[in-house]
Amino acid sequence: MAEADFRVNVGLALGGLGLAAWYASGSAVFLAGIVITLAMVRSGIYRQQTANDLLVNVLEAGAVVSIEFTEFDAMVHRSRDLRQDRATHTGTVPAADPSMPVAATSPA
């Protein structure tokens, strides 16, 4: 991802430099900087999308476990357990709290 960010930032800087040089000199040769800018920004965005896709695939495959996802899942399970305990002790089933996220579970 750092490479993608680098490409986008360098592309934008070259584009600004090309526009400034074109404005100062009036020569259309410096407009080539715009073409380079577009190519670098496009390449950077493509590489960033590729890197994001790779990260999503790794997480979905379970090759890497995200601490944040694990903690979130544990929080959801604790919340469900607390609701079930309250329902058992009071004899009523409490309504789901709309502020609590619900994780998808598969039937056991």
- Residue 76 buriedness (CB in 10 A; 0-12 / 13-18 / 19+): middle
Q: What is the pLDDT of residue 3?
A: 81
When pLDDT is cut at 50, 70 and 90, the band that residue 104 belongs to is low
Q: How far is CA 70 from the centre of its chain?
A: 18
Model confidence pLDDT, tens digit, residues 12-61:
888 888 888 888 888 777 777 788 888 888 988 999 999 889 988 888 88
First to last CA, the chain: 39
pTM of the full predicted structure?
Answer: 0.52
pLDDT of residue 101 exceeding 50, the answer is yes
Q: State the amino acid at position 72 in one-letter form.
A: F
In the structure, what pLDDT confidence band is assigned to residue 107 with cuts at 50, 70 and 90? Answer: low
> Contact at 8 Å (CB) between 35 and 14?
no
- In single-letter form, the type of residue at position 21 comes to A
CB 33 within 8 A of CB 22: yes
